[in-house]
Amino acid sequence: MTCKRRNTSFCMTDIEGCEGRLNPQSKILVIIPAYNEAENIGSVVDEIKSTALPLDILVIDDGSLDRTTEVAQAHGARVVRLPINLGIGGAVQTGFKFARDNGYEVAIQIDGDGQHIPSELPILLDVLNRNEADLCIGSRYIGERHYRTPFARRLGMIVFTAVNSLLIGQRVTDNTSGFRAYNRRAIEFLSRYYPTDYPEPEVVVILGRTGFRIQERAVKMRPRHSGESSIGTWGAIYYMIKVLLAITVDVFKVYRQVGAQA
């Protein structure tokens, strides 16, 4: 296996007999960003394992103050613990870098609070396996709706769908979904460019505008087990304005395609 790591002098795969991947057969990495999720993370990891898919589980502990790392490790996940809280964007990007450095073909992002249903993973994987997309988003808004959304969020969805459709010429119903599967090409791109604060809608625009293929599939979503959602009502309004500004600026940014650099 060749080392894909750039800008550093070594990587896991350079060390004799030290395979970066936990399971050499698995080419799929599940990235779970987690901040103070000690209560939920154990069951999330267990549930993903119970799917018996050939995948490795990587929890990114984003500088949690509780025992997130210990709990995740006890349940058998590999954990990258960030010494400082970077926010969801920095955490997820750490997972992409890990996937890039260790030769994974597919990276799946799933929330650490148990809202997403791991048994639906094959729905997303299937799309990538058949090479129909570089990014497959699990959407709550396709088909039957099992999920009731607060008004502020609902408004956000409508706005994002309208703006993003305009910018990428494709209708994406659930831009804020944190349940996604990315292929190798997207992994390498996002290891270099990943938005910071509330990255999901921005990623859709960036990938959509740089020629990546995006697909959506219907998934269900549960209410949270415990803990608070990262966004309240005022938070949702701030979130929307901030992301809209970021998306607008993204349109004018320059992204060098992977492989184009020296």
Partner 1 sequence: MMAFRIQIFAVLGSLAIAAVIFELIRKRKVLEKYSLLWFASAIILIVLSVWRDLLEKVAAVLGVYYAPSALFIIAAFCAMVMFLHLTVVISQLTEQNKTLVQEVGLLRDMVQQLEKKNKNE
Judged by the rule CB under 8 A, the positions of this chain that interact with partner 1 are 8, 12, 15, 17-18, 60, 78-84, 86, 90, 93-94, 97-98, 101, 196
Q: Among residues 60 and 137, whose Cβ is nearest to partner 1?
A: 60
Q: Among residues 81 and 153, whose Cβ is nearest to partner 1?
A: 81
Q: In terms of DSSP bridges, do strands 28-34 and 106-109 run parallel, antiparallel, or are they unpaired?
A: parallel
Q: Among residues 12 and 123, whose Cβ is nearest to partner 1?
A: 12
Question: Which sign does the torsion angle of CA 21, 23, 24, 30 carry?
Answer: negative
Q: Are 62 and 139 in contact (CB under 8 A)?
A: no
Min dist CB 22 to partner 1, Å, is: 9
Q: Among residues 183 and 191, whose Cβ is nearest to partner 1?
A: 191
Min dist CB 98 to partner 1, Å, is: 6
Q: What are phi and psi of 224, to 5 degrees?
A: -65, 145
Q: Among residues 78 and 220, whose Cβ is nearest to partner 1?
A: 78
Query: Which helix (H) or strand (E) element contains residue 98?
Result: helix 88-101
* Alpha carbon distances (Å) from 123 to 47, 59, 119: 16, 22, 9
Min dist CB 206 to partner 1, Å, is: 16
**Who contacts 157 (Cβ-Cβ below 8 Å, separation ≥6)?**
141, 149, 173, 174, 175, 176
Min dist CB 226 to partner 1, Å, is: 25
Min dist CB 82 to partner 1, Å, is: 4
Q: Are 233 and 150 in contact (CB under 8 A)?
A: yes
